[in-house]
């Protein structure tokens, strides 16, 4: 199973997945073997928010995308390509993968949201 994590700094799980261009990619074999196999550092035109859905995209090769937050449009767009989007409040990428595999994903409301307060208008939850 291939799992991507939105991570603008390549260290922590970050949100705003529709605008994100940096992702950590994990390969999971069973429930215990989690290996970081790469990083996606996409050009601006490959941010899903403005991407032409008819073309191929590196995220469409993933089975799961874990993020700090994503809007409904992003979730639906990836679901159409067979990619499950999971929002988490966990900031450690490997811990987020382990939580997902264990079925114990932390609520996104538990994470620091960078000053959005009540999340109004940011579109990252939904």
pLDDT at residue 51 in the model: 86
C-alpha distances in Å from residue 72, one per residue of 6, 49, 53, 85, 95: 16, 12, 15, 10, 24
Do residues 3 and 26 make contact, with C-beta atoms less than 8 angstroms apart?
yes
Entry pTM: 0.84
Residue 119 banded pLDDT, cuts 50, 70, 90: very low
pLDDT in tens, 54-79: 788 999 999 999 999 999 989 999 99
Higher pLDDT, residue 51 or 10: 10
User: Mean of the pLDDT values across residues 101-126?
Assistant: 57
Closest C-alpha among 15, 16, 40, 8 to residue 26: 40
Residue 102 banded pLDDT, cuts 50, 70, 90: very high
Handedness of CA 7, 19, 124, 76 (dihedral sign): negative
Fold of 2-110: Nucleotidyltransferase; domain 5 (3.30.420)
Mean pLDDT of the chain: 86
Domain ranges of the chain: 2-110
User: Mean of the pLDDT values across residues 44-61?
Assistant: 88
């Amino acid at each position: 199973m291939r799992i991507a994590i939105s991570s603008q700094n390549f260290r922590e799980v970050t949100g705003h997945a529709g605008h994100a261009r940096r992702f950590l990619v994990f390969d999971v074999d069973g429930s215990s073997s989690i290996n970081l196999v790469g990083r996606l550092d996409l050009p601006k035109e490959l941010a899903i928010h403005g991407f032409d859905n008819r073309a191929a995209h590196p995220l469409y090769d993933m089975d799961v995308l874990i993020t700090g937050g994503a809007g409904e449009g992003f979730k639906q767009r990836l679901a159409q390509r067979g990619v499950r989007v999971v929002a988490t409040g966990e900031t450690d990428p490997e811990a987020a993968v382990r939580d997902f595999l264990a079925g114990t994903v932390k609520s996104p409301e538990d994470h620091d949201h960078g000053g959005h307060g009540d999340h109004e208008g940011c579109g990252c939850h939904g």
